[in-house]
Amino acid sequence: MTIAAVAALSVAGWLIHSYFYDASFMQVPPPSSVEANTCTTGETLYFGYAFTPSRDVRLTGAELIGISDAFTVEGIYGINQAESHKPMFGGGTQQSWDRYGYSNDHLYPVSAVDLNASGTNWWLVAKIVPRQAGKQAIDGIRVHYTAGGRSGSAVYNEKIVTNCAK
């Protein structure tokens, strides 16, 4: 009888944990890859990430995954597309970031980003500095979020490969 009770409590605990902490409210696209060949070590690079939730969510954090020590991550920020009136910046150098006017946009902390299921006005940008020449990779980004009393995370396998000259 006690084994059955322990098993039932374990299953109930797992279900409750899954309901509150493993919410899957993000639509994850298939894996993709981008290569940046026009970079120089020490020059800041920017890479944009768009997210599509299946329900209204508030981001609570973001981190790059599979990133080598060859990079310094200066930050991951939110940009409100409705304020900037520009499309998402897919990726490029500091020079491109400045030339297209993104350097004038306000960079919000990730925790300020609310994504709604009916169409999001936010995207994230990772600000990265490569410290070594040659091919280096970032495997993707993980975002953490809450939706009501539930929370979860999603991994976007959007690989970035840099091949910077010295």
55-73 burial code (b ≥16 CB/10 A, e <16): eebbbeebbbeebeebbee
pLDDT for the residue 4: 59
Distance CA 56, CA 76 (A): 21
Query: Which residue's structure tokens are 């976007």?
Result: 156
- Band of the pLDDT at 5, cuts 50, 70, 90? low
Residues 14-50 have pLDDT tens digits of: 444 444 444 467 767 666 777 777 788 999 999 999 8
Over residues 112-139, the mean pLDDT reads 89
pLDDT for the residue 19: 43
Q: Which domains does the chain have, with CATH numbers?
A: 25-164 (2.60.40)
Question: pTM to 2 decimals?
Answer: 0.81
Total H helices, total E strands in the chain: 3, 14
